[in-house]
A and B are shown apart, each in its own frame.
Chain A
C-alpha cells in the first residue's frame, strides 16, 4: 500500500522533477522527499522509552504530541557521535493504520533542497545489504555528487513498527 502512494506523494513538478531535502550523516548526503517533511527542529530533550531498540532514542513533546525520535546514525549502523549545534531533528509524517504518524529523525545536519529529475534517479544497487534495501529508494547524481534517496515510509515502519496495535 505504501509503495503505491509514493509517486503521488512526491513533489512532482511539471518538468518531471521532485524536490528533496538533503541532510548529512557521517559524510554521506541523503535525500528525503520534501513532501514528507513536516518541519525541522533543533535538538530537544528526549525521554527514553523502555524496550526500544537503541536507534529509537525515545519520545519528544512536539506541541503536545508524543513523537518518537529515531537516530538515523544508529539506525544505519554508523558510529554514534555526540549531538552538537548542527544536530537537528527532521520531523516527517508517514501514513499509519489510523491516519498519519509523525516521527522525528535525528541527522548530523540539513544541507540543501534539490530538484531531482526523475530520469536522474537510479535504482538502488543490487549489492546493498538488507538494512539498506529497506530504506534506500534510489540514488541520484546531483551536481556531481551522489545523493542517497531514502524511502521514509519503509524506514519508519521498519524502525518503530508497522502497526500501532502491535504490542
Chain B
C-alpha cells in the first residue's frame, strides 16, 4: 500500500519532469539552427535521454521506444555526424508534441495511442537514413569518445552505445558482458532489477564473476565487486537490451554480442523465432486496434493543484517564522510577570509582532506568485508554427517574463493570451509582400510585454501589423444591428464591438480564427479575474491589446463604502471615479429609471440601499455620493452614503460555509474583527441592467 503510494509519487515526479524536459526540448529546438552551439543540442539531447530512461523504467515502453529514435537523431547531431537542417528540426518539434501527447495519456492512465508516433517514426527513419545507414555509425561514435575517456579509473566508461542491427531470424539471443563500476550502488542502480527486466524478454543465464572481490578485511560492503556474463536466449532487437542497461551504461562497461544461430539450427530456430515472439511484442509495431484518442477528461483533473516553489521563498518563510517565534517568546514573558514599567517593551514587542505578521503574509502570498514566463513560454512555438502556416514572417519579442502574478490568475490568463496572439497573427499581421508594399520591414514584430503597475499586472499584446479597421468594424456593427445607423461612436466604443459574441470582420473563416468566437471569451475570462481589456490601435501601424489584472485573487485593493449602518468594500480597479452629484445632473425616465449625467453620457443609478434593503442616511441622491463603476465596458453609478478608507483587504469566500449571494463577491475581515462584504461589481451591473431591460419590456 505505502509502496504503491510511494510509486505513485515517484511516477508523478517523472511526469512533472518529463513535461519540463519536453518544454526544454521545445524551446531549445526553436532556437536550433545550423549555427547553434553544442550546448543547445546537448540540452535537448539530455532532456530526451531522461524522458526515455524514465519512461522505460516505469514501463511506458511506447514512449521510451519513440523517444529513443528521437534521441538517436539528436545524438548524431551533437556528435557532429549530422547537420542541423530545418527539416529535421521540424520533425523533432513534431516529435516533442507526440511524446507530450503520449506522456499525457500515460499520466491520465489511459492507453497510449501510438498513431502519431508510428507516423513520425517513419519520418525519423527517413531522416536517419538520409546520410548513411544508422548501423554504420555505432563503431565510430562509440569508439572515439570511449578512447578519450579511457583514462577513467577502474572501469572505462563507455558512451551511450548505438544499437547493433541484426536480423532477428539469424540470432538466438545475446551475450552481454556487464562489468559495473565499483560505485554502481551509489548511483542507485540495482543489477537485480536489470536482470529481472532482461528475464522478462526471455530465458536468462547469468554467470557471476567474483574475481574483483578483495580480501575480506579490505572489502567495502557498499561497493559492487561482482561482474556478470549474461546470456539472454531471446531473439530481440538490440535496442530493447540497451534500454534496460540505459541507467547504468555510464557507470559500467557493457559489451553486447549477438549469438548467431548455427547454420544447422537456423531453419528450425527461425520457425521458433517467428512462431513465438517470446519477448513482449512491441506495441508500437503491432497495429493498435484504433484506440480512439478521446479528449481525456482526466487531463484537467490530473493537475492536483500542486505548486513548485523556489527554495529561497521557503527559506524566507522559515526565517520569518523564526523571527515570529522570538517575538512570541518575548511577548510570552509578559503573561508570567507584568510590571507596568515594561509597557514600553511590550509596545515594542507588539510593533515587532505586527511587522512579522505583515512580512509573513507577504511571503506566503509570494509562494503563490509565479513568473508570467510560465505562460509566455508556449508562444515561441505557437508563433513559429502559426506564422509558417499563414506564410507570414513574424519575430516574437517577450518582455518582462519574470513579472510575477498569482498562480490562479496565471492559469486562467493562458487561453485568453493564446486567443489574442492568434488574432494578432491572423488578422493584424500582414503578409510579407504587403508589408514591404506598405514600406514596413518584411518581418513583423509581435511583442508580449508584462509589467507591474500599482497593484495590478499589465500584459500587452502588441503587433506592428495593419491595425484595426475602424470603418469595417463599424460597418459590420451597423449590419448586425449593434449600432444604430446614425449613432456616433468613439474609437473605444468601436473597438469594444469586437468583444461582442459572434462578431467577426474576417471575410473568410480560417482554422486559425475568424469565427467570431474568442474575443468575447477573452473579455469574459479577464473580467472573471477582476481585470480589464483595452485596445489601442492605429491603422497601418499596429494594435496593442492591454490587459490589466489584479496581482492576486486573494487580496483586493478595496474602497470601503458606507450605506446607512452597513459597510461594503468595492474593488478599486472597477471604480472610475466618485462624484457628489448636483441636481442638474440628475434626471429620470418615465419616473422610474434614474439617470446621472456623467461627462457626455447618462449612467443608470443603482441605489445600493434599495438593492440590499438598507436604511440609508438619506434617500436623496444629491445628499449621497455616486460611485461610477465599469465592467465589460458598461458603466453605472452606485449610490452610497459615504466613502471610507482605501485599503488592501483579504478576500474570503462566502460560499465555504454559506452560499453565493447575488451582488457579492465575498467577504473580508476588518481590523476590529468584524466582517465586511465585498461587492461583485460586474455581477451588480449585469443583474441591474438585465432587470432594467426586463422591466422596460414588461412596461412596454
Contacts and interface: CB of A to CB of B under 8 A. Distances in A.
Interface of A: 45, 47-52, 58-61, 64-68, 96, 101-103, 160-161, 163-167
Contacts of B661: 49-52
Contact of B653 (A47, A51, A66): A66
Interface string B630-674: 000000000000000000000011111111111110110100011
A94 to B, nearest CB: 10
The 10 closest A-B pairs by CB, nearest first: A50-B612, A47-B675, A68-B658, A161-B659, A66-B667, A164-B655, A45-B674, A61-B669, A101-B657, A66-B652
Contact of B658 (A45, A49, A50, A61): A49
Contacts of A65: 652, 656-657
B676 interface: yes
Contacts of B660: 164-167
A50 B680 CA distance: 13
Q: Is the interface of B mostly helix, strand, loop or mixed?
A: loop
Nearest to A163: B659
B657 A49 contact: no
B611 A66 contact: no
A19 to B, nearest CB: 24
Chain B contact patch, size range: 20 to 34
Q: Which of A52, A60, A61, A166 has the most CB of B within 10 A?
A: A61
A68 B612 contact: no
Contacts of B254: none
Contact of B611 (A47, A50, A96): A50
B444 to A, nearest CB: 45
A68 B661 CA distance: 12
B405 interface: no
A66 B659 contact: no
B613 A50 contact: yes
Given A59-B675, A101-B656, A164-B655, A64 B669 contact: yes
Contacts of B675: 47, 58-61, 66
B41 interface: no
A66 B664 CA distance: 13
Contacts of A59: 654, 658, 667, 675
A49 to B, nearest CB: 6
B677 interface: yes
B12 to A, nearest CB: 23
Contacts of A96: 657
Contact of A103 (B657, B662, B667, B673): B657
B566 interface: yes
Contacts of A67: 657-658
17 contacts: A45-B673, A47-B566, A47-B675, A49-B661, A50-B663, A59-B654, A59-B667, A66-B666, A66-B675, A68-B658, A102-B657, A160-B659, A161-B659, A163-B659, A164-B655, A165-B655, A165-B660
B457 to A, nearest CB: 26
Contacts of B669: 61, 64, 66
Contact of B566 (A48, A61, A103, A161): A48
Interface in B254-289: none
Contacts of A50: 611-614, 661, 663-664, 677
Interface string B131-161: 0000000000000000000000000000000
A7 to B, nearest CB: 25
B672 to A, nearest CB: 8
Nearest to A167: B660
Contacts of B666: 66
Given A49-B658, A66-B667, A61 B673 contact: yes
B677 A49 contact: yes
Given A61-B673, A61-B675, A47 B667 contact: yes
Contacts of B655: 164-165
Contacts of B674: 45, 47, 61
Of B652, B658, B677, chain A has the most CB atoms within 10 Å of the CB of B658
A68 B660 CA distance: 12
Contacts of B653: 66
Contacts of A61: 669, 673-675
Given A65-B656, A67-B657, A101-B656, 7 more contacts: A61-B675, A66-B656, A66-B669, A102-B657, A160-B659, A161-B658, A167-B660
